[in-house]
Structure 1
Amino acid sequence: MPVVAIGSQPLLGPVVGLCSWTLIMEAWMYATRLPALSKYKVDTSPENCKQSMADKIPASIAWKAENYNHLMEQPTQFFATALALNAMGVSDQVTVGLAWGYVGLRVLHSLVQATSNTIVVRFGLFLSSSITLTALTVKAGLILWGKGLGSAHVEL
Protein backbone atom coordinates (compact mmCIF):
# COMPACT_ATOMS: atom_id res chain seq x y z
CA MET A 1 0.00 0.00 0.00
CA PRO A 2 1.50 3.36 -0.99
CA VAL A 3 2.24 5.88 1.76
CA VAL A 4 0.94 9.41 1.17
CA ALA A 5 3.35 12.18 2.10
CA ILE A 6 1.54 14.61 4.38
CA GLY A 7 3.14 17.50 2.45
CA SER A 8 1.20 16.51 -0.65
CA GLN A 9 -2.14 16.31 1.16
CA PRO A 10 -1.84 18.47 4.28
CA LEU A 11 -5.60 18.54 4.96
CA LEU A 12 -5.40 14.90 5.99
CA GLY A 13 -3.47 15.93 9.11
CA PRO A 14 -6.37 17.83 10.70
CA VAL A 15 -8.80 15.06 9.71
CA VAL A 16 -6.72 12.38 11.41
CA GLY A 17 -6.02 14.77 14.29
CA LEU A 18 -9.70 15.27 15.07
CA CYS A 19 -10.40 11.55 14.68
CA SER A 20 -7.59 10.88 17.15
CA TRP A 21 -8.96 13.45 19.60
CA THR A 22 -12.40 11.84 19.37
CA LEU A 23 -10.88 8.48 20.35
CA ILE A 24 -9.15 10.16 23.31
CA MET A 25 -12.49 11.58 24.45
CA GLU A 26 -14.10 8.16 24.04
CA ALA A 27 -11.42 6.59 26.25
CA TRP A 28 -11.83 9.37 28.85
CA MET A 29 -15.60 8.86 28.78
CA TYR A 30 -15.31 5.12 29.45
CA ALA A 31 -12.56 5.57 32.03
CA THR A 32 -14.88 7.75 34.11
CA ARG A 33 -18.29 6.36 33.25
CA LEU A 34 -17.77 2.63 33.75
CA PRO A 35 -16.46 2.97 37.32
CA ALA A 36 -19.28 5.44 38.07
CA LEU A 37 -21.94 2.94 37.01
CA SER A 38 -20.67 0.57 39.65
CA LYS A 39 -19.91 3.21 42.31
CA TYR A 40 -23.37 4.78 42.09
CA LYS A 41 -25.12 1.41 41.65
CA VAL A 42 -26.74 2.34 38.35
CA ASP A 43 -29.21 -0.24 37.10
CA THR A 44 -28.20 -0.88 33.49
CA SER A 45 -31.00 -3.29 32.69
CA PRO A 46 -32.72 -2.81 29.30
CA GLU A 47 -35.88 -1.55 31.01
CA ASN A 48 -34.10 1.63 32.12
CA CYS A 49 -33.93 4.56 29.77
CA LYS A 50 -30.76 6.53 29.16
CA GLN A 51 -31.97 9.50 31.24
CA SER A 52 -32.82 7.45 34.34
CA MET A 53 -29.32 5.99 34.30
CA ALA A 54 -27.70 9.39 33.69
CA ASP A 55 -29.62 10.89 36.61
CA LYS A 56 -27.75 8.60 38.99
CA ILE A 57 -24.21 9.71 38.13
CA PRO A 58 -22.65 13.14 38.76
CA ALA A 59 -22.91 15.68 35.95
CA SER A 60 -19.12 16.00 35.81
CA ILE A 61 -18.95 12.38 34.65
CA ALA A 62 -21.78 12.79 32.14
CA TRP A 63 -20.03 15.80 30.56
CA LYS A 64 -17.48 13.52 28.89
CA ALA A 65 -20.23 11.47 27.21
CA GLU A 66 -22.06 14.62 26.15
CA ASN A 67 -18.87 15.92 24.57
CA TYR A 68 -18.20 12.64 22.80
CA ASN A 69 -21.70 12.89 21.33
CA HIS A 70 -20.96 16.48 20.24
CA LEU A 71 -17.87 15.18 18.42
CA MET A 72 -20.22 12.99 16.37
CA GLU A 73 -22.29 16.00 15.29
CA GLN A 74 -20.77 19.14 13.70
CA PRO A 75 -17.33 17.59 13.12
CA THR A 76 -18.90 15.27 10.54
CA GLN A 77 -19.38 18.39 8.40
CA PHE A 78 -15.72 19.23 8.96
CA PHE A 79 -14.61 15.77 7.84
CA ALA A 80 -16.71 15.98 4.67
CA THR A 81 -15.52 19.50 3.87
CA ALA A 82 -11.83 18.83 4.60
CA LEU A 83 -11.89 15.63 2.52
CA ALA A 84 -13.67 17.45 -0.32
CA LEU A 85 -11.06 20.22 -0.26
CA ASN A 86 -8.34 17.57 -0.19
CA ALA A 87 -9.90 15.78 -3.18
CA MET A 88 -9.94 19.12 -5.04
CA GLY A 89 -6.20 19.39 -4.42
CA VAL A 90 -6.41 22.35 -2.04
CA SER A 91 -3.28 22.63 0.07
CA ASP A 92 -2.66 26.34 0.65
CA GLN A 93 -1.48 27.46 4.08
CA VAL A 94 -4.60 29.49 4.87
CA THR A 95 -6.95 26.56 4.28
CA VAL A 96 -4.74 24.12 6.17
CA GLY A 97 -4.43 26.67 8.97
CA LEU A 98 -8.21 27.03 9.14
CA ALA A 99 -8.57 23.24 9.30
CA TRP A 100 -6.05 22.95 12.14
CA GLY A 101 -7.74 25.93 13.80
CA TYR A 102 -11.05 24.09 13.69
CA VAL A 103 -9.43 21.04 15.30
CA GLY A 104 -7.84 23.18 18.00
CA LEU A 105 -11.13 24.90 18.79
CA ARG A 106 -12.91 21.54 19.06
CA VAL A 107 -10.21 20.22 21.40
CA LEU A 108 -10.57 23.32 23.59
CA HIS A 109 -14.36 22.94 23.50
CA SER A 110 -13.96 19.32 24.65
CA LEU A 111 -11.63 20.25 27.49
CA VAL A 112 -13.97 22.99 28.73
CA GLN A 113 -17.03 20.77 28.52
CA ALA A 114 -15.36 17.75 30.11
CA THR A 115 -13.89 19.68 33.04
CA SER A 116 -15.79 22.83 34.04
CA ASN A 117 -18.63 22.87 31.50
CA THR A 118 -18.74 26.68 31.57
CA ILE A 119 -21.51 27.33 29.05
CA VAL A 120 -20.49 30.85 28.00
CA VAL A 121 -16.93 29.69 27.26
CA ARG A 122 -18.17 26.60 25.45
CA PHE A 123 -20.51 28.71 23.34
CA GLY A 124 -17.69 31.07 22.38
CA LEU A 125 -15.55 28.15 21.29
CA PHE A 126 -18.46 26.55 19.44
CA LEU A 127 -19.26 29.81 17.66
CA SER A 128 -15.60 30.28 16.70
CA SER A 129 -15.37 26.72 15.37
CA SER A 130 -18.63 27.22 13.45
CA ILE A 131 -17.28 30.37 11.80
CA THR A 132 -14.08 28.51 10.90
CA LEU A 133 -16.07 25.63 9.42
CA THR A 134 -18.19 28.10 7.48
CA ALA A 135 -15.05 29.64 5.96
CA LEU A 136 -13.81 26.20 4.90
CA THR A 137 -17.20 25.32 3.42
CA VAL A 138 -17.47 28.61 1.54
CA LYS A 139 -13.99 28.06 0.10
CA ALA A 140 -14.96 24.54 -1.02
CA GLY A 141 -18.15 25.84 -2.62
CA LEU A 142 -16.39 28.68 -4.40
CA ILE A 143 -13.79 26.31 -5.79
CA LEU A 144 -16.33 23.68 -6.78
CA TRP A 145 -18.93 25.95 -8.30
CA GLY A 146 -16.50 28.70 -9.29
CA LYS A 147 -14.79 26.31 -11.71
CA GLY A 148 -18.13 25.89 -13.44
CA LEU A 149 -18.18 29.67 -13.86
CA GLY A 150 -14.76 29.71 -15.49
CA SER A 151 -12.66 30.53 -12.40
CA ALA A 152 -9.77 28.14 -11.86
CA HIS A 153 -8.53 29.48 -8.52
CA VAL A 154 -10.26 31.14 -5.58
CA GLU A 155 -8.47 32.85 -2.68
CA LEU A 156 -10.16 33.01 0.69
Structure 2
Amino acid sequence: MLYPLFAMFLLTLVVAMVMLKRRIGAAKAGTIRFSYFKVMQGQEIPEKVLQAGRQYQNLFEMPVLFYLVGVLYMLLNMESLLAVALAWGFVGFRVVHTLIHLSYNHVMHRLLAFLASVIVLTVLWGMLIWQYGAAMQSVPGLG
Protein backbone atom coordinates (compact mmCIF):
# COMPACT_ATOMS: atom_id res chain seq x y z
CA MET A 1 0.00 0.00 0.00
CA LEU A 2 2.94 2.29 0.59
CA TYR A 3 3.89 2.46 -3.09
CA PRO A 4 0.53 3.77 -4.33
CA LEU A 5 0.55 6.35 -1.52
CA PHE A 6 4.04 7.42 -2.56
CA ALA A 7 2.93 7.59 -6.20
CA MET A 8 0.14 10.02 -5.22
CA PHE A 9 2.71 12.11 -3.37
CA LEU A 10 4.88 12.17 -6.51
CA LEU A 11 1.88 13.17 -8.65
CA THR A 12 1.24 16.06 -6.26
CA LEU A 13 4.88 17.15 -6.56
CA VAL A 14 4.73 17.01 -10.36
CA VAL A 15 1.57 19.13 -10.43
CA ALA A 16 3.16 21.60 -7.99
CA MET A 17 6.12 21.95 -10.35
CA VAL A 18 3.83 22.44 -13.37
CA MET A 19 1.87 25.06 -11.44
CA LEU A 20 5.06 26.86 -10.40
CA LYS A 21 6.45 26.77 -13.94
CA ARG A 22 3.22 28.17 -15.40
CA ARG A 23 2.99 30.91 -12.77
CA ILE A 24 6.60 31.99 -13.21
CA GLY A 25 6.26 31.83 -16.99
CA ALA A 26 3.15 34.02 -16.92
CA ALA A 27 4.83 36.50 -14.58
CA LYS A 28 7.93 36.68 -16.77
CA ALA A 29 5.74 37.14 -19.86
CA GLY A 30 3.93 39.97 -18.12
CA THR A 31 0.50 38.34 -18.20
CA ILE A 32 0.46 38.24 -14.38
CA ARG A 33 1.99 40.76 -12.00
CA PHE A 34 3.97 39.22 -9.14
CA SER A 35 1.80 41.27 -6.76
CA TYR A 36 -1.16 39.11 -7.79
CA PHE A 37 0.26 36.26 -5.70
CA LYS A 38 -0.05 38.23 -2.45
CA VAL A 39 -3.77 37.54 -2.17
CA MET A 40 -4.49 35.76 -5.48
CA GLN A 41 -6.92 38.37 -6.77
CA GLY A 42 -7.16 41.63 -8.63
CA GLN A 43 -6.18 40.45 -12.07
CA GLU A 44 -7.37 38.25 -14.93
CA ILE A 45 -5.29 35.07 -14.93
CA PRO A 46 -4.39 32.94 -17.97
CA GLU A 47 -6.44 29.76 -18.20
CA LYS A 48 -3.41 27.43 -18.14
CA VAL A 49 -2.24 29.02 -14.88
CA LEU A 50 -5.71 28.63 -13.34
CA GLN A 51 -5.92 25.00 -14.51
CA ALA A 52 -2.64 24.08 -12.83
CA GLY A 53 -3.63 25.82 -9.60
CA ARG A 54 -7.03 24.17 -9.55
CA GLN A 55 -5.53 20.74 -10.23
CA TYR A 56 -3.10 21.23 -7.37
CA GLN A 57 -6.06 22.04 -5.09
CA ASN A 58 -7.87 18.93 -6.37
CA LEU A 59 -4.99 16.81 -5.08
CA PHE A 60 -5.80 17.96 -1.54
CA GLU A 61 -9.46 16.99 -1.71
CA MET A 62 -10.43 13.34 -2.45
CA PRO A 63 -6.82 12.11 -2.36
CA VAL A 64 -6.66 13.04 1.34
CA LEU A 65 -9.26 10.32 1.95
CA PHE A 66 -7.11 7.97 -0.13
CA TYR A 67 -4.06 8.68 2.03
CA LEU A 68 -6.15 8.02 5.14
CA VAL A 69 -7.58 4.70 3.96
CA GLY A 70 -4.13 3.59 2.79
CA VAL A 71 -2.54 4.36 6.14
CA LEU A 72 -5.39 2.60 7.94
CA TYR A 73 -4.92 -0.51 5.80
CA MET A 74 -1.26 -0.55 6.82
CA LEU A 75 -1.81 0.26 10.51
CA LEU A 76 -4.54 -2.34 10.88
CA ASN A 77 -2.46 -4.88 8.93
CA MET A 78 -5.33 -5.47 6.51
CA GLU A 79 -3.52 -5.00 3.21
CA SER A 80 -4.44 -7.46 0.50
CA LEU A 81 -3.58 -7.88 -3.14
CA LEU A 82 -7.03 -6.59 -4.05
CA ALA A 83 -6.70 -3.51 -1.82
CA VAL A 84 -3.29 -2.67 -3.28
CA ALA A 85 -4.59 -3.20 -6.83
CA LEU A 86 -7.51 -0.88 -6.11
CA ALA A 87 -5.11 1.67 -4.63
CA TRP A 88 -3.11 1.60 -7.86
CA GLY A 89 -6.39 1.97 -9.74
CA PHE A 90 -7.17 5.11 -7.76
CA VAL A 91 -3.73 6.51 -8.55
CA GLY A 92 -4.17 5.65 -12.22
CA PHE A 93 -7.51 7.44 -12.44
CA ARG A 94 -6.04 10.47 -10.65
CA VAL A 95 -3.16 10.53 -13.14
CA VAL A 96 -5.67 10.42 -16.01
CA HIS A 97 -7.71 13.17 -14.34
CA THR A 98 -4.56 15.28 -13.98
CA LEU A 99 -3.46 14.75 -17.57
CA ILE A 100 -6.88 15.76 -18.85
CA HIS A 101 -7.08 18.79 -16.57
CA LEU A 102 -3.62 20.08 -17.45
CA SER A 103 -3.97 19.52 -21.20
CA TYR A 104 -7.15 19.64 -23.27
CA ASN A 105 -9.42 19.87 -20.18
CA HIS A 106 -12.60 18.27 -21.55
CA VAL A 107 -14.97 18.48 -18.58
CA MET A 108 -16.88 15.24 -19.27
CA HIS A 109 -13.66 13.24 -19.71
CA ARG A 110 -12.31 14.73 -16.51
CA LEU A 111 -15.58 13.96 -14.72
CA LEU A 112 -15.44 10.30 -15.81
CA ALA A 113 -11.89 9.95 -14.46
CA PHE A 114 -12.97 11.64 -11.24
CA LEU A 115 -16.03 9.41 -10.82
CA ALA A 116 -13.96 6.28 -11.49
CA SER A 117 -11.50 7.34 -8.78
CA VAL A 118 -14.37 8.01 -6.35
CA ILE A 119 -15.86 4.57 -7.02
CA VAL A 120 -12.49 2.90 -6.42
CA LEU A 121 -11.98 4.92 -3.23
CA THR A 122 -15.46 4.02 -2.01
CA VAL A 123 -14.76 0.33 -2.61
CA LEU A 124 -11.46 0.63 -0.70
CA TRP A 125 -13.26 2.19 2.27
CA GLY A 126 -16.07 -0.37 2.10
CA MET A 127 -13.63 -3.27 2.04
CA LEU A 128 -11.69 -1.86 4.98
CA ILE A 129 -14.81 -1.38 7.10
CA TRP A 130 -16.08 -4.84 6.18
CA GLN A 131 -12.71 -6.50 6.96
CA TYR A 132 -12.38 -4.60 10.22
CA GLY A 133 -15.90 -5.56 11.26
CA ALA A 134 -15.22 -9.21 10.44
CA ALA A 135 -11.98 -9.11 12.43
CA MET A 136 -13.73 -7.57 15.42
CA GLN A 137 -16.36 -10.35 15.36
CA SER A 138 -13.62 -12.83 16.23
CA VAL A 139 -12.37 -10.83 19.24
CA PRO A 140 -13.89 -12.16 22.48
CA GLY A 141 -16.19 -9.62 24.09
CA LEU A 142 -16.43 -7.45 20.97
CA GLY A 143 -18.33 -9.75 18.61
| Category of TM-score, reference length = shorter chain | 0.7 to 0.9
- What amino acid sits opposite 2:87 in the alignment? A
TM-score by length of 2: 0.88
Q: How many Å separate the matches in 2 of 1:23 and 1:48?
A: 22
CA RMSD of aligned residues (A): 1.9
Counterpart among 96, 103, 107 of residue 115 in structure 1: 103
Which residue is equivalent to 1:4?
none
- Superposed counterparts of 1:5-154, under 5 Å: 11-45=1-35, 49-53=39-43, 55=44, 57-150=45-138
What is the alpha-carbon distance in structure 2 between the residues aligned to residue 49 and residue 134 of structure 1?
36
Whether the aligned pair in 1 keeps the contact of 2:36 and 2:42 (CA below 8 Å) is: no
Tell me which amino acid in the other structure corresponds to 1:14.
Answer: P
Greater helix content: 2
Give structure 2 stretches of 5+ with no counterpart: none
C-alpha distance in structure 1 between counterparts of 2:78 and 2:133, whole Å:
14
Amino acid at match of 2:120: T
* Helix, strand or coil at the partner of 1:97: helix
Measured in 2, the distance between the counterparts of 1:106 and 1:47 equals 27
After the TM superposition, which segments of 4 or more aligned residues of structure 1 sit over 4 Å from their partners?
46-49
The Cα offsets for residues 109-153 of structure 1, whole Å up to 9 and x where unpaired, read as 0010011111000000000000000000011111223322338xx
> SS of 1:82's equivalent?
helix
Q: Could you tell me how far 1:96 is from its partner in structure 2? A: 0.7
- Matched-pair contact (CA < 8 Å) for 2:78–2:131: no
The 3 A distance-change label for structure 1 pair 48 and 83 is closer
Give me the whole-angstrom Cα distance separating, in 2, the residues matched to 1:49 and 1:25: 21
| Structure 1 gap segments, 5+ residues each | 1-10, 152-156
Q: Bigger shift: 124-133 or 34-43?
A: 34-43
TM-aligned CA distance change 1:69 to 1:150, over 3 Å? same
